[in-house]
Amino acid sequence: MLSMTGFGNGEKQVGPVTVTVELRSVNHRFLDVGLKLYGSLAAYEMEIRQFLKENVSRGRVTVSAQMVMDKDAATASLDPERLSQALIMLKSAAKGILDATGQEQPITLDHLLAVPEILRPQEMEISPEDVKSVLMGALKDAHVGLMLTKQKEGAALVAEMKTRLDTLSTNLKEVEKRAPEAAAHIQAKLEERLAKILDEPLDPQRQAQEIALLADKANINEETERLGIHIQHFHAALNGGGQVAKRLNFLLQEMHREVNTMGSKTNLMDITQSVITMKDEVESMREQIMNLE
């Protein structure tokens, strides 16, 4: 089972060129890819998107890729256009000083070299096929790292949810143990209320029927039984692995419904405390499910 949170990086080299790729993934309902491609790597956007579409099910995935050339393998030359602009700028500055002070300011090589970006690096020729090859290789390595972290995070989430399921089961058993006591408590309350409301007592048989009917509406046996079944199915889904987040989310909705109904049907303090604990565990698991792929 995979988390949607992960990180991976990859690096490949061809000649003096090194391409690095970083992948970061967080939870998202669908697959959402964001790209940060530098320089000529932007030309391979479609290839990257297709690869991720085929290899990542969902999540917001950010791709950062850049290409760096070994400085020792690069040479530099004057940029003719930048040189022309620099000469115009320096001559204008020298004339301004001459007009203002009457002193001539000769233009030297040091002045030219101080102009930003006057030197342009000359990169060795690398074919587009080679660039694509190292880019996709780095992307695949980054994907391997991403999947490893997603698996690790997913295993941690599963382990935590199993712990919460155990807590849920323990409290469910406590509720089942207290259920008969709750039924007796409800019946006693009903008899007490009827005695206060009615001026004349009902026929004993009719009264027993009315109390039994009201007590049956407050019975929580069906809810406890269904919750137990949902817990079993949840365990089975976790153990089966795969992409089961949607099924788990559905089961948690059903579990939440059963726990809420238990709480509304009885106000016995021991059961209420167990219900509150079960609600907390279900809500925590619903938050954790959001991070599963």
pLDDT band at 230 (very low <50, low <70, confident <90, very high): very high
239 touches 159 (CB < 8 A): no
pLDDT on residue 101: 83
Q: What's the mean pLDDT in 15-37?
A: 92
Q: What's the mean pLDDT in 45-74?
A: 88
| Angle 280-171-258 from CA coordinates, rounded to 5° | 65
pLDDT digits (tens, 9 = 90+) for 65-95: 999 877 655 556 666 777 788 788 878 888 8
Q: What's the mean pLDDT in 31-59?
A: 93
pLDDT on residue 84: 81
Q: 70: closest CA among 11, 134, 135, 16?
A: 16
All domains of the chain in start order, with CATH: 6-72+128-151 (3.30.230), 76-122 (no CATH), 152-289 (no CATH)
What sign has the CA pseudo-torsion 163, 169, 170, 171? positive
pLDDT on residue 195: 64
25 touches 59 (CB < 8 A): yes
